[in-house]
Chain A
């Protein structure tokens, strides 16, 4: 399977703990995006990378959130000191520059903060 993969698929944590999610994009894609989706809503943009450079961050991305893509391939999204309001589906997507940014999504990581 050469689609976007995310790990883990589900994460349950206690408030105040740190969590880290991983995304592996489609192999030739140089852009990688993170979105958050809450129940009944569409995905909301958090941040995106072109290769290893983080080019844009949403105001939704508080200072407790950090994303990295150190070698321009996989990416990690870390949430520090989780809060109950962080409970959501975290989606990763990738695209290829020059393809009009058509984005392909992974299956998501469902985070539940107790």
Chain B
């Protein structure tokens, strides 16, 4: 199946610092989604990207759909303690594989107050 490589696997940062994480694929995707998941809960949608090159913001979060359509980036500015959690990217490749989303393995974020 499709493989999504998400990096870094984990991050420990000081409150107020900016965070960057990315997701790469061996295949072209038509849609990229970024989710945040807290322990014992389902993933919560943060940002959806639908076009190559698209740059979308949601508060302190900014995500980009890579030009090659094989990668995506998520940035968090001025991190705060409630940013702690696991961040997942998810990609949808389209017709040949139905409507199946593939998820990365997650980036675990710890924010030190």
Taking Cβ atoms with an 8 Å cutoff, the residues of A that contact B are 4, 6, 31, 33, 40-45, 48, 55-56, 58, 91, 93, 100-108, 110
Contacts and interface: CB of A to CB of B under 8 A. Distances in A.
Contact of B40 (A42, A43, A58, A110): A110
Interface stretch (B14-22, B67-75, B76-84, B103-111): B103-111
A48 B99 contact: yes
Contact of A105 (B44, B50, B106): B44
Interface string B19-51: 000000000001101010000111111001010
A42 B98 contact: no
Nearest to A55: B98
B92 interface: yes
Contacts of B4: 42
A40 B103 CA distance: 12
- A6, A42, A43, A45: residue with the most chain B Cβ atoms closer than 10 Å: A42
Contact of A101 (B31, B41, B88): B31
B18 to A, nearest CB: 24
A100 B31 contact: yes
Nearest to A33: B101
B91 to A, nearest CB: 11
B63 to A, nearest CB: 13
